[in-house]
Structure 1
Amino acid sequence: MSDLVEKLVCDNVKALTPYESARRLFATGDDTQSQQVWLNANESPFHNAFQVDDSRFNRYPDCQPSGLIKAYAKYAGTGIEQTLVTRGADEGIELLIRTFCNPRTDSILICPPTYGMYAISAQTCDVAVKKVPLKDNFSLDVEAICQHKDQVKLVFVCSPNNPTGTSVEKQQLRSLVEHFANSALVVVDEAYIEFDKENTWATELSRYPNLVILRTLSKAYALAGLRCGFTLASSPIIKALLKVIAPYPIPEPVAQIAQQALTEAGVDNMLKQVDYLAIQRNKLHRYLKTIKQVELVGDDKANFILFRTPLKSQLMQFLVEHNVFIRDQSKQLNLNNCLRITVGNDQQNQHLMDLITSFYNTQEIA
């Protein structure tokens, strides 16, 4: 860092450790992408075709494209006044913090191990982060969370949770939403809800004015490269967020493709792909249970599997050497020696399983 940058940069940014995304950890040139198997970012293995009309590319896009808002509201079962489209769910996280938390004064609450961007977005905005760890079985410690009433503005709950794959019991969430009814927003991150659709809270928005839902097209819809997410909440919350959001957050091509993905045919295609991934996930799950050096961790309510092995580092290195990338989660609280595998297609998963078998066979011989 240069002397000038060191002098000018914000104090909270100096201390910030950036989010280690899959592409930051394993950045490569495009010429090698086809030779690699990416199973570390919870992306879909599918790539679906879309048509784009370029006749409006010379114009700024609508801040909230009405066709897209209507399409997602219909899909989620919400009102259009309860629906905001953002640049991925990550922008929704940051908007909530910027809108409702005063820098150097307010706090958010998170429940690690969980998605890292809640804390990083707060720290970037100079907002404090209070932590109530999940219990040993990765359920919420509701009693401990409730002790923070009037101490936090936002309570972030990821369900299904990344990286544990666990869903939060509805009664636990109901207790939190009701407990913080007059003091904080309870933000339920449903990025993986299509893999656990019976547990959505989107239908409860009208009942709980302090409830916020985060959604994305990155996972089940196979559109991670599009960067399109949604924040679902009461109309007053949406209106407050609209004061803070950028004037043109959704590029025209993104709006067009997202709207196509949300047609009846697009939704049907997504559901078929989710069913396929569930079959592949179960196959991978059964395979890992046969390896005595592997302990399955958490649950499988999303498109990934978390496991623990004492040979974590060696296995990771072996897979990287063979151009297969999974995710090391061992830095997270209570996840020592844990690795996370994104469920790929049959060919990718079989290749991964063959490599894992080869690795452990080699270890036994050694």
Structure 2
Amino acid sequence: MSDLVNKLICENLKALKPYESARRIFAGGDSDSETWLNANESPFANDFTIDTAHFNRYPDCQPPSVLLPYAKYAGVQANQLLVSRGADEGIELLIRTFCTPGKDSILICPPTYGMYAISAETSNVAIEKAPLKADFSLDIPAIFAYQGKVNLVFICSPNNPTGTSVGKAQLKQVLEHFADSALVVVDEAYIEFDADNTWATELAAYPNLVILRTLSKAFALAGLRCGFTLANSEVIQSIMKVIAPYPIADPVAQIAAQALSPNGLKQMAEQVEYLSQQKQWVKQQLNQFPELELVGDDKANFILFRYSKKQGLMDFLVANSVLIRDQSKQINLDNCLRITLGTQLQNEKLLALMASFFKQQETSA
């Protein structure tokens, strides 16, 4: 770091390690030759049309063509919804709106999605942790100990990377415990794979409930960067004070609107069902490898497993152009790898390579 940069950079950023996204880890990869099963993306690339007639104009801050159909889809009112550049921006906006830098804190429950902590660190907001229990359920007493000490409580359900959903009774306890002291942010990025456990219908009952959603997973639009924050209108209006004036590009709004049309929703549901079937099939096939231990649950579009020689397996798969995700740096996930569900062909390729790897291990033993 140069003397000038070191002099000027914010103190809280000097030691910060950027979030290691799946694309950053394998930057420059040739997507046509590699099988990407590492970022919880959908394997489907759906077709859309674009109208360029208004590209010379600034877009709506909150385009009704996106806001209204998503509100209908989620079962909320339009004034309970905000659209942003992915759910990641929603996380950042919540922290910027409700946490004072250098003063306030958020609470996370690791192992979980890494951007809650990164967004807090970049905003100079402190991070408290109440790790999940051995079965990946919430540690309620540990969470309760932070009442009055945090402004935001982030809970991912279904959780990335464990694939577990938070029980309704537990989440209700958290919402009630922090009713007068903190917003409870439920990240539902994978909710289409566990639709019965959504909290979107509970906004009226819990004024401190906030929900994050995205089009990146089930809607197969990770490249679009379009997410949603669901909350009571007072929370939404507060966030509107800090959001950029034109957060949603016009092409993004056009594609999102098509994805949220009746035909788009039907296609999404069919693809979710396909991936759910693939998930069960892949889990069955993994049982042929006694060296592996399935970890967590399967409420999302990925499978987590533990293997004592995980680095050897990772290296073998990467050498054969199949990419999965190493999660072993997270608490209680030692030697854990995560597989994103792909197409039947992609999943078969992965499993065939795994079978070849384990056969080599037997031969060399």
TM-score bin, normalised by smaller chain: over 0.9
Counterpart amino acid of residue 310 in structure 1: S
Q: What pairs with 1:79-228 in structure 2 (closer than 5 Å)?
A: 79-228=77-226
Counterpart amino acid of residue 79 in structure 2: E
Counterpart amino acid of residue 9 in structure 2: V
**Cα deviation digits, residues 162-199 of structure 1 (max 9, x gap):** 00000000010001001100000000000000000000
Matched, 1:18 2:51: no
The 1-side partners of 2:288 and 2:173 are apart by 39
Q: SS in structure 1 opposite 2:244?
A: coil
- 1:295: Cα distance to partner? 0.3
- 1:290: Cα distance to partner? 2.0
Q: SS in structure 2 opposite 1:61?
A: coil
**Cα deviation digits, residues 53-95 of structure 1 (max 9, x gap):** 1001011101000121101000000000000000000000000
Residue in 1 that maps onto 2:354: 356
The 2-side partners of 1:2 and 1:220 are apart by 43
Residue in 1 that maps onto 2:59: 61
Counterpart amino acid of residue 248 in structure 1: Y
Residue in 2 that maps onto 1:294: 292
Residue in 1 that maps onto 2:237: 239
Q: How many percent identity over aligned positions?
A: 65
Residue in 2 that maps onto 1:9: 9
Counterpart amino acid of residue 3 in structure 2: D
- 1:206: Cα distance to partner? 1.0
- 1:143: Cα distance to partner? 1.5
Counterpart amino acid of residue 272 in structure 2: V
- 1:288: Cα distance to partner? 1.2
The 2-side partners of 1:22 and 1:58 are apart by 34
The 1-side partners of 2:331 and 2:306 are apart by 13
- 1:311: Cα distance to partner? 1.0
- 1:23: Cα distance to partner? 1.0
Residue in 2 that maps onto 1:36: 34
**Cα deviation digits, residues 125-174 of structure 1 (max 9, x gap):** 00000000000000000121011100000000000000000000001000
The 1-side partners of 2:47 and 2:79 are apart by 30
The 1-side partners of 2:216 and 2:160 are apart by 14
Counterpart amino acid of residue 42 in structure 1: N
Equivalent of 1:50, from 36, 48, 51? 48
Q: What pairs with 1:331-346 in structure 2 (closer than 5 Å)?
A: 331-346=329-344
Counterpart amino acid of residue 302 in structure 1: A
Matched, 1:275 2:273: yes
State the TM-score, normalizing by the size of structure 1: 0.99
How many aligned residue pairs are there? 364
The 2-side partners of 1:179 and 1:123 are apart by 26
Q: SS in structure 1 opposite 2:223?
A: helix
The 2-side partners of 1:281 and 1:12 are apart by 41
What do you get for the CA RMSD once the two structures are aligned? 0.6
The 2-side partners of 1:222 and 1:100 are apart by 31
Counterpart amino acid of residue 270 in structure 1: M
Counterpart amino acid of residue 159 in structure 2: N
**Cα deviation digits, residues 277-305 of structure 1 (max 9, x gap):** 00111111111122111000000000000
**Cα deviation digits, residues 347-366 of structure 1 (max 9, x gap):** 00000000000000000110
The 1-side partners of 2:343 and 2:89 are apart by 29
State the TM-score, normalizing by the size of structure 2: 0.99
The 2-side partners of 1:283 and 1:7 are apart by 55
- Give structure 2 stretches of 5+ with no counterpart: none
The 2-side partners of 1:250 and 1:129 are apart by 29
The 1-side partners of 2:251 and 2:183 are apart by 32
The 2-side partners of 1:15 and 1:105 are apart by 19
**Cα deviation digits, residues 260-282 of structure 1 (max 9, x gap):** 10011110110000000001111
Q: SS in structure 2 opposite 1:69?
A: helix
Counterpart amino acid of residue 61 in structure 2: C
- Give structure 1 stretches of 5+ with no counterpart: none
Q: SS in structure 2 opposite 1:244?
A: coil
